[in-house]
């Protein structure tokens, strides 16, 4: 990384137009290196139902954006947030949160749902979308232990 900074500094000092392309490539490369250093793991706990507030929708948009930027995402569905992981959602007047969750899973997110919350609300595993796994608070704790940032809403 120090050598890269020295090269960039050198090309900026000599300011020769034929080296402009190389300078730009070095700067882009440096930014990519910095971006890879900033790769984070976010654990997001969603505790609200998907069509009662916008919060689950907003958190899923954040998760999708973070995945596209190269970050890792864990999602834990808890309390009424378990319904975010229900398959066959088909809202008529709201953006389909189930579709967002499916896309996030396809991009590599880990999604787990609280088994105690499922039992309390009468949901069974067969109602969960593909890629959503039933877990316990231990599973949530593991997600939090590996996270750089935790968002609970």
Spatial CA neighbour of 73 closest among 102, 111, 35: 111
Indicate if the pLDDT at residue 35 is higher than 90.
Answer: no
pLDDT in tens, 49-102: 988 888 999 999 999 999 998 899 999 999 999 999 999 988 887 788 999 999
Structure tokens at 80: 């009424």
pTM of the shown model: 0.76
CB 128 within 8 A of CB 113: yes
Residue 13 has a CB neighbour count (10 Å cut-off) of 8
pLDDT tens digits, 6-15: 656 665 665 5
Q: Token pair for residue 101?
A: 């969750």
CA distances from 136 to 67, 78, 93, 115, 116 (A): 25, 10, 33, 6, 7
């Amino acid at each position: 990384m120090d050598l890269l900074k020295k090269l960039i500094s050198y090309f900026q000092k000599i300011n020769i137009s034929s080296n402009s392309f190389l300078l730009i490539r070095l700067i882009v490369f440096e930014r990519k290196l910095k971006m890879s250093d900033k790769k984070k793991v976010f654990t997001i706990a969603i505790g609200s139902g998907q069509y009662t507030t916008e919060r689950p929708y907003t958190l899923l948009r954040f998760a999708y954006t973070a995945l596209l930027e190269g970050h890792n995402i864990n999602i834990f569905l808890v309390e009424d947030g378990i319904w975010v992981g229900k398959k066959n959602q088909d809202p008529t007047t709201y953006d389909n949160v189930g579709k967002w969750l499916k896309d996030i899973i396809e991009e590599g997110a880990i999604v787990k749902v609280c088994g105690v919350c499922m039992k309390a609300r009468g949901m069974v595993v067969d109602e969960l979308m593909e890629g959503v796994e039933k877990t316990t608070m231990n599973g949530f704790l593991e997600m939090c232990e590996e996270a750089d940032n935790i968002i609970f809403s």
